[in-house]
Amino acid sequence: MAQNENIIAHAGIRFFGSISASATHEIKNNLAIINESAGLLKDLSLMAEKKGHPLSLERINDISERMIRQVQRADLVLKKMSRFSHSVDQAMEITDLEKTIIFVLDLASRLVERQGAVLEIISPVAPMLVSTNLFFLENMIWRAIETACCAADNEKGVKISFGTNVSEPLIWFTMNRVKKEIMDDIFRSKEDLALISYLNISIEKNNKNTGFGLLWPKCI
């Protein structure tokens, strides 16, 4: 048990690290644009002062709007990171599965983009709630997204849908086409197994072996 907790803790730190690194990269990009915009304003004022180039008010307005837009983008990333950081606040809480998936996808959008996958979420008829540890649920969802993207072949289309029956998986990840060798070996790592056991869930593959689902023993 203690060994499992150790593995989960390591997995959690790695997950937190990769999300933070991705957010940092996004903010650095925003800062780079703000930095160059400020530099451009300086260039324009120097050109006006030294060479008598007229300063266009429209141009200055465009540049300031660009800077404001980048500050807003960076602020949004920080808000998401702040929400993510608070995921560890409570050991157990009632969580909406769809909202958590949307949040994880939004948080890791840059990482998903790098996987080259196209994800589509099909909303459940009614909210699906589970009582769980939010941070490790987010971690498990991210591992499932990564697994699905990795197993998806060619067009990399991944559909995320929700089960309607308590005896079936609550979250389904279905791929248009799969790499069979990856599908045959999913969720076998120590970290996956420890997380699955900690969250008290099980993994089920669909009949065609083109997807997998996360099954909770009970839904609220």
Partner 1 sequence: MSEKVLLVDDEKEFLEIMSERMQARGMVVTTAESADQALSIIGKESFDAIVMDFQMPGMDGMEALKAIKNKKPELQIILLTGYATIEKTVEAMKIGATDFLEKPADLEALAKKIKEAKAEKMLIVEKQTEEKIKEILQRYGG
Contact residue for partner 1 among 18, 66, 124, 150 (CB under 8 A): 66
209: left (phi over 0), alpha (psi -120 to 50) or beta: left
Task: Give least dist CB 9 to partner 1, A.
Answer: 22
CA distance 37 to 167: 56
Pick out residues in 120-139 that bind partner 1 (CB under 8 A): none
- Closer residue to partner 1 in complex, CB, 43/185: 43
Q: What is the SS3 assignment for 208?
A: coil
Strands 157-162 and 118-121: parallel
Stretch that binds partner 1, among 112-120, 157-165, 182-190, 199-207 (CB under 8 A): 112-120
Measured from the Cβ of residue 162, the count of other Cβ atoms closer than 10 Å reads: 21
- Closer residue to partner 1 in complex, CB, 66/205: 66
36 near partner 1, judged by CB under 8 A: yes
Q: Residue 208: is it exposed, middle or buried by C-beta count within 10 angstroms (0-12/13-18/19+)?
A: exposed
Confirm if 142 and 168 have CB atoms less than 8 A apart: no
29 near partner 1, judged by CB under 8 A: yes
Contact residue for partner 1 among 33, 71, 121, 196 (CB under 8 A): 33
- Closer residue to partner 1 in complex, CB, 40/121: 40
106 near partner 1, judged by CB under 8 A: no
Confirm if 127 and 68 have CB atoms less than 8 A apart: no
Contact residue for partner 1 among 40, 71, 121, 150 (CB under 8 A): 40
Q: Which residues bind partner 1 (CB under 8 A)?
A: 21, 24-29, 31-37, 39-40, 43, 47, 66, 70, 110, 113-114, 116
